[in-house]
Amino acid sequence: MSMKPWLHGRKPGDRRVRVERPHAEFFRYTGPGTFVAREAASRPRTSTGRAIERIRHALFGRPLSIHEEITERLSKKKALAIFSSDPISSSAYATEEILRVLVLVGAGALLVSLPIAMAVALLLIVVSLSYRQIVRAYPSGGGDYAVARRNLPRIGSLVVAAALLLDYVMTVAVSTASAAEQVISAVPDLASFQVAIGVVAITLITLGNMRGLRESGNIFAVPTYLFVGSALVMIVIGVFRIVVNGEHAAPPSPLPGAPAVPEMLGALLLIRAFASGSVALTGIEAVANGVPAFKPPEPKNAARTLAAVAIILAVLFIGITFVAYSFGVVPIDDPVRRTVISQVAGIAFGDNSIGFYLFQTFTALILFLAANTSYNAFPRLAAILARDGYMPRQFSFQGDRLAFNSGILVLSIVALALLIAFGGDTHALIPLYSVGVFVAFTIGQSGMIVHWLRERPAGWQRGLAINLLGCTMTGVVAVVVLIAKAPTSLLVAIVVPIVVGVMLFIHRQYQASAGHLAVREDVVIPPPRREERVIVPVAGINRAVIQAINVGRSIAPDIRALLISDSPDEALAIRERWERQLPDVPLVIVESPYRALVGPMLAYLDVIDQTWPQGKEQPVTFVIIPEYVARNWWERLLYNQSANRLRRVLIGRPHTVVVNVPYRRDEDEDAPRPASP
Amino acid sequence: MVGFGHMPESGNPAPIRKAILGLNGGPTDELVVHLGCQLAKPSSGELVAVHVIEVDWRHELSEEMTDENLAASSVLDLAEGIAERYHVKLSGDLLQAREVAAALVDEAIELGADAIIVGLPYRKRFGGDFAIGSTIPYILQNAPCQVIVAREPVPSSGERRESREPRPVSGGLGLR
C-alpha cells in the first residue's frame, strides 16, 4: 500500500495521510481468503478491447452484477398479462387458420367454423385443467420438461425438451410473421416489406433481450390488457350488430384461384380445420413453466391465472370466429394480404378508423410480446439442459447483462432462418408449430399420469382422470396435426429426433470426459513423484531464449536446449557460442536436411521417451517455448509463427506440458542484461 | 439506540446527502454501516466509510503500517458489501493520523459531509458500561455537521456475564 501526500486539518498538527488501497479498485474483501471481483477487474486492458467494450456497452448496456438480477414476484394481474401474451396472441391467427381450410370447400363450409372453434375451446379447457394439475404438483416450475424428467425415462424428457425448444422457435417465427401481417393489413403499402418487418422485429427483440430485458415490467402488461380490452370491445360491437341490428353476412366467396372442391365436407377437411384451429392452444403451457415467479401461494395463484388465461382465450377465439363467420369474413391474399382479425376489426370499428388502427397496433404489439416470451423460455430451458449435460455448457453461461446470450442468439438465428425461408407467411409456418406443442403436451400429461400412479396423494384419482383425458386428447390431436398438416409437419418428426440424438451425443461426450477427469473424494492427493525434464526449443541465443531457459531451470534440473537446424555451419557457430555463454545447459542439435522443424522436433521427443528406462514411469516433459510478445496486430503476423505451429502439434501429446514464456519488449530496460558480448 | 448531535432547528435530522461513517474494526461497525445506509437510502445519499489508523509519535505519520492497513482495508471492504445490499453508494477511505477524532472531523469538512456517524461500544468488562472516551466528545464539539452516535445494544444480563473482548475483524486481506 502506498501513501498520498499529507493532508492538513483545521488545527495545526492535525495532519493525516490517505493510504492508497491498490486492491480496492479491482476486488472487495468478503471474508478470509475470499474476494469479489469488481467491474473494473473485468475491463479489457488493450485499447482494441476497450473500444469493443464501449461498443458493447452502447448496444447492450453496462454489465450487471448477479446481485442485480430481478427476482420480482408477480401478482396475479401482472402474471396474467405476462404469461398470457403468448396464448392469447394466438387468437389473432387461429380463426384464420380454420377459415383457410374451410374456404377451400366453399361458402357453406364456413358454417362449421364455429363448431370447430368450440371443439378447440373444449380441448383448451381440458388442456388447461391438465396443466392446473402440473402447476399444483410441480410448484418449482419447469412445466412439461420438469414433469417428464421426474417421471419418465430419459428419452421422454429429451423429446419434450426438443419439442419445447422447437415450440419456442416457432413462437418467435409465427408471432413476428403474424405481427408483420397485422401491420400490412393496416398499411398495405408495406406489403413488400413483410419479411423485413419480421427480421427487424426479431433483431430488436434480440438486442433488447441481450440487454437483459425482463418481462416483469409494466411495459409488458399494458399491451396485453390493451389487446384483450380492445378485442373484447370489437367482439361486443360485432355481436351487437349481429344480434340486435340483425345485420346479415355477405355470402363468402372462395379465395381467388382456389382449386374447385366438391360442395361437401369430408371428414378429412373437418379434421384438417380442427388441426389448424388447435394452434390456439400454443403458449398455454407458459404459466406452468413460470410458477415460481408468482407471489405466494404460488401454485394457487398460478392455477387461477391459468384458468383466467384459458377463459379469456376461449372467449376471444370463439368471439372472433363467430363475428368472422357471421360477416362472411375470409382471408384475403390478393392484391394485398388482409388477415381475418383485421377484417373483423374493420367491421367493428370501421375500416381506416382510429379504432381500427389502434386495434391493429395492439394486435401487432401483443404478437411481438408473444415472440419475446420465448426469449425468456428458450434460453432458460437451454441453460437447464446445458446444466444437465445435454447441451453445450456455454448455454448455461450468463452474459454481461445476466442474459443467456448463447440461447438468445441461437433462438434468433433459427427463427430468422425460418421466417426468411417461409417468406414470413404465418399460414405456411403454423404446421411446424402445432406438432411440437402437442407432442410436449402429450408427454407432459403422460408424465403426470405416472406421477399420480406413483405418488398417490389424496385425490389422486381425480388428477389421474384429468391428465388421462388430457393426454389422450392431446395425443390424438398431435397425430391428427401431424397427418393433416403433412408434408410440412413431417419436418418436426425429423427435427425432434435429430435434436434428441444430438443431446444424447453431447451427454455421452460430457459423461466420458467427466469420467476421465474424476478424482475420488476420499483420496488425499500426494505430491507428484514423476520425474520432470525440460526441453527448450531454440533458434539461437537471445533474451527470449535466456528467459525461457531460466524458467526451465526453475522447473527441473534436467534441462536441455534443442536446436533444429538446416545449416550445419550455423549450428556449429551457435554451439560454440552456447557452450561459452550457457555452459551448464546442454544443447542438442538436430540437423534437418529436409528443412522441417516440427517433424524432427516430435521425432526427437519420441526417441527420448523410448530411451527412458523400461519399468520406470515416463517423466513429464516440459517443452518451454520462448515467445516474443507482439505489440500490434501486424507484429503478430511477423513473429511466433513457428512457436504457434509447435504449440499446436504438442498440445495433447502424452506426458508433455507446453509452457509459453512470453518476452515483452519493454522488459529490455527493466531486466538485467545477460552477459552479452 | 441513536443519539443526535448538532440537530437542525426543526428537531428532525436533515436528509443525508453525504455522511462519514467512522469505523474501527470494532463491534459497532456493522451497526454504523446499517444505520448509515438506512439514513442515506431515502435521499440517495452517499456514504464514505473512514477508518483512521492512529499512528503514535514513535512512528512517522506516513510510515507504512502494513498489518494495520490490511486489516483496516478489509473493514472498509466489508462495509462496502453491506452498502451494496442496500444499493447505497459507499466508498472507503483509509487514513493514518495522530488523532482519530480530528481526522474524522477534518475529513468530513474536506468532503462536505452533512453527517458523521460513529459507534459507541458497550464495554462488557468491569460490570459493563459505555465508556465514551475522548473521540466522540471531540467530534461532538468540533464537527460542523450532524453527529449521530450509534450505541451498541446493551446485552442481556446472561450475555453480560460472558465477558469477551470485541471481536477483531479479520487479520488481513490475504494479498501478501
User: What pLDDT is recorded for position A621?
Assistant: 95
User: What pLDDT is recorded for position A513?
Assistant: 92
Radius of gyration of chain B (CA): 16
Q: What are the φ/ψ torsions at residue A534 (nearest 5 degrees)?
A: -125, 135
Q: Left, alpha or beta for A61 (phi > 0: left; psi -120 to 50: alpha)?
A: left
Q: Are B84 and B76 in contact (CB under 8 A)?
A: no
Minimum Cα–Cα distance from B92: chain A residue? A24
Q: Does B30 touch chain A (CB under 8 A)?
A: no
* Residues in CB range of A526: below 8 A, 6 or more apart: none
Which residue is associated with the grid cell 398470457? A84
Contact criterion met (CB < 8 Å) for B81 and A6:
no
Q: Which residues of A touch B98 (CB under 8 A)?
A: 13-15
Distance CA A642, CA A288 (A): 57
Contact criterion met (CB < 8 Å) for B96 and A31:
no
C-alpha cell at B38: 438506512
Q: Are A127 and A284 in contact (CB under 8 A)?
A: yes
- Count of CB atoms within 10 A of residue B160's CB? 13
Q: Is B57 exposed, middle or buried (0-12, 13-18, 19+ CB in 10 A)?
A: exposed
C-alpha cell at A483: 397427418
Which residue is associated with the grid cell 406421477? A451
Q: Which residues of A touch B50 (CB under 8 A)?
A: none
C-alpha cell at A419: 421466417
Give the amino acid at B1: M
Distance CA A332, CA A329 (A): 9
State yes or no: pLDDT of B140 exceeds 90: yes
Q: pTM for the whole thing?
A: 0.74
- Residue A29 has its nearest CB partner, among B74, B84, B93, at B74
Write out pLDDT tens, residues A509-549: 999 999 999 988 888 988 878 899 999 999 999 999 999 99
Q: How far away is chain A from the Cα of B126, in angstroms, using its nearest Cα?
A: 32
> Is the interface score ipTM higher than 0.90?
no
- Residue B106 has its nearest CB partner, among A9, A31, A32, at A9
* Residues in CB range of A561: below 8 A, 6 or more apart: A535, A536, A537, A538, A545, A549, A578, A582, A585, A586, A587, A588
> What is the DSSP secondary structure assignment for residue A39, as one 8-state letter?
G
Q: Are A34 and B122 in contact (CB under 8 A)?
A: no
User: What pLDDT is recorded for position B93?
Assistant: 92
User: What pLDDT is recorded for position B22?
Assistant: 94
Short-list B150, B147, B93, B153, CA closest to B115? B147
Q: Which residues of B touch A31 (CB under 8 A)?
A: 170
- Residue A21 has its nearest CB partner, among B92, B97, B109, at B92
Q: Are A120 and A93 in contact (CB under 8 A)?
A: no
Q: How far away is chain A from the Cα of B84, in angstroms, using its nearest Cα?
A: 9
- Count of CB atoms within 10 A of residue A606's CB? 11
Mutate to test the interface with B, among A7, A16, A36 (most CBs of B within 10 A): A16
Contact criterion met (CB < 8 Å) for A19 and B95:
yes
The share of chain B scoring above pLDDT 70, in percent, equals: 77
> What is the DSSP secondary structure assignment for residue A75, as one 8-state letter?
P
Q: Which residues of chain A have pLDDT under 50?
A: 261, 263, 674-677
Q: Are A90 and A367 in contact (CB under 8 A)?
A: no
Q: Which residues of A touch B82 (CB under 8 A)?
A: none
Q: Is the peptide bond before A487 cis (omega within 30 degrees of 0)?
A: yes
> What is the DSSP secondary structure assignment for residue B158, as one 8-state letter?
H
C-alpha cell at B126: 468491569
- Residue B96 has its nearest CB partner, among A9, A16, A29, at A16
Contact criterion met (CB < 8 Å) for B64 and A1:
yes
Q: Is A32 exposed, middle or buried (0-12, 13-18, 19+ CB in 10 A)?
A: exposed
In DSSP notation, A334-370 reads SSS-B-HHHHHHHHHH-TTSHHHHHHHHHHHHHHHHH
Contact criterion met (CB < 8 Å) for A23 and B175:
yes
Interface of B with A in 98-127 (CB under 8 A): 98-99, 102-103, 105-107, 109-110
- Count of CB atoms within 10 A of residue A409's CB? 15
Helix (H, G, I), strand (E, B) or coil at A134: helix
Q: How far away is chain B from the Cα of A76, in angstroms, using its nearest Cα?
A: 28
Which residue is associated with the grid cell 422485429? A201
Mutate to test the interface with B, among A29, A65, A70, A71 (most CBs of B within 10 A): A29
Average pLDDT, rounded, for chain B: 81
How many residues are there in chain B?
Answer: 176
Q: Are A578 and A546 in contact (CB under 8 A)?
A: no
Q: Which residues of A touch B25 (CB under 8 A)?
A: none
- Count of CB atoms within 10 A of residue A366's CB? 28
| β-strands B18-23, B46-54 pairing | parallel
Q: How far away is chain B from the Cα of A132, in angstroms, using its nearest Cα?
A: 37
Q: Does B4 touch chain A (CB under 8 A)?
A: no
> What is the DSSP secondary structure assignment for residue A625, as one 8-state letter?
E
Distance CA A629, CA A389 (A): 38
Q: Are A602 and A630 in contact (CB under 8 A)?
A: no
Radius of gyration of chain A (CA): 34
Give the amino acid at B171: G
User: What pLDDT is recorded for position A641?
Assistant: 78
- Residue B103 has its nearest CB partner, among A16, A28, A31, at A16
User: What pLDDT is recorded for position B5?
Assistant: 47
C-alpha cell at A181: 401481417
Distance CA A79, CA A97 (A): 28
C-alpha cell at A55: 461498443
Contact criterion met (CB < 8 Å) for B174 and A67:
no
More confident residue, A320 or B156: A320
User: What pLDDT is recorded for position A630?
Assistant: 79
* Residues in CB range of B11: below 8 A, 6 or more apart: none
Distance CA A581, CA A549 (A): 12
HSE-up (13 A, CA, CB side) for residue A222: 4
> What is the DSSP secondary structure assignment for residue A597, as one 8-state letter?
S
Q: Are A119 and A113 in contact (CB under 8 A)?
A: no
Distance CA B69, CA B96 (A): 9
C-alpha cell at A657: 506440458
- Count of CB atoms within 10 A of residue A454's CB? 10
Q: Left, alpha or beta for A516 (phi > 0: left; psi -120 to 50: alpha)?
A: alpha
Distance CA A192, CA A637 (A): 47
Distance CA A19, CA A40 (A): 20
Query: How far from chain centre, in Å, is Cα A642?
Result: 39
User: Which contiguous run of DSSP H or E holds residue B18?
Assistant: strand B18-23
Q: Taking every pair of C-alpha atoms in chain B, what is the biggest distance, in angstroms?
A: 51
Q: Left, alpha or beta for A387 (phi > 0: left; psi -120 to 50: alpha)?
A: alpha
Contact criterion met (CB < 8 Å) for A16 and B95:
yes
Which residues of chain A have a Cβ shorter than 8 Å from any chain B Cβ? 1-3, 6-7, 9-11, 13-19, 21, 23-24, 28-33, 35-36, 67
Query: How far from chain centre, in Å, is Cα A329?
Result: 39
State yes or no: pLDDT of B75 exceeds 80: yes
Distance CA A42, CA A22 (A): 16
Distance CA B72, CA A31 (A): 13
- Residue B173 has its nearest CB partner, among A10, A13, A29, at A29
Distance CA A177, CA A202 (A): 10
> What is the DSSP secondary structure assignment for residue B7, as one 8-state letter?
-
State yes or no: pLDDT of B176 exceeds 50: no
Contact criterion met (CB < 8 Å) for A14 and B99:
yes
User: What pLDDT is recorded for position A140?
Assistant: 75
Q: Is the peptide bond before A457 cis (omega within 30 degrees of 0)?
A: no
Query: How far from chain centre, in Å, is Cα B63?
Result: 23
Q: How many CB pairs under 8 A join A and B?
A: 88
Distance CA A208, CA A212 (A): 7
Q: Which residues of A touch B60 (CB under 8 A)?
A: none
Contact criterion met (CB < 8 Å) for A19 and B52:
no
Distance CA A578, CA A587 (A): 7
Helix H segments across A556-632?
Answer: 568-581, 598-610
Contact criterion met (CB < 8 Å) for B97 and A17:
yes
Interface of B with A in 131-170 (CB under 8 A): 142, 170
Q: Which residues of B touch A21 (CB under 8 A)?
A: 69, 73, 76, 92, 94
Packing angle, helices A154-186 and A76-89, rounded to 10: 80
Mean pLDDT of B109-117: 93
